[in-house]
């Protein structure tokens, strides 16, 4: 696994903090926040390779947040997660991130690790 710095954003604190801890045990440097506002503050101080975003969050959705983050950090890669699994969410998430970078909760950590690697590889191939 290549070294990477990841930002996790999900309004379920118990979920996102534990996911960060499990990624850390696998050698991934992962910070976590529970809102879009915190995510935007976080990227002011830290450079991230990749953000893993919950699709449904209060106030600002993961899709909207991705657009905001992309404007500020064009090289950042994105993976979406959702608890919904609805067609509507799937289409919104997959068209924003690409179907390969979309995960339905509960998340399998090894699958997330694979997708993070793939997203970074794809990012590095861009001119």
Among 73, 109, 113, 118, binds another protein (CB under 8 A): 109
Contact predicate 62/70, CB 8 Å: no
Distance CA 66, CA 58 (A): 14
Residues 6+ apart with CB under 8 A from 58: 11, 35
Span between the terminal Cα atoms of the chain, in Å: 22
* Nearest approach, Cβ of residue 9 and another protein (Å): 14
Nearer to another protein, 104 or 118 (CB): 104
The stretch among 36-44, 71-79, 99-107, 117-125 that binds another protein (CB under 8 A) is: 99-107
Does 25 bind another protein (CB under 8 A)? Our answer is yes
Among 107, 116, 119, 120, binds another protein (CB under 8 A): 107
* Nearest approach, Cβ of residue 35 and another protein (Å): 11
Nearer to another protein, 34 or 76 (CB): 34
Contact predicate 104/82, CB 8 Å: yes
């Amino acid at each position: 696994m290549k070294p990477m710095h990841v930002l996790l954003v999900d309004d379920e604190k118990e979920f996102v903090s534990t996911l960060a801890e499990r990624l850390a045990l696998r050698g991934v440097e992962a910070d976590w926040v529970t809102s879009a506002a915190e995510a935007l503050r976080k990227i002011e101080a830290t450079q991230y390779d990749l953000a893993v975003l919950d699709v449904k969050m209060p106030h600002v959705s993961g899709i909207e947040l991705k657009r905001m983050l992309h404007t500020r950090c064009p090289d950042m890669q994105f993976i979406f997660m959702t608890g919904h699994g609805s067609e509507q969410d799937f289409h919104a998430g997959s068209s924003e991130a690409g179907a390969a970078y979309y995960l339905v909760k509960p998340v399998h950590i090894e699958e997330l690790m694979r997708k993070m690697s793939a997203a970074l590889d794809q990012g590095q191939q861009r001119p």
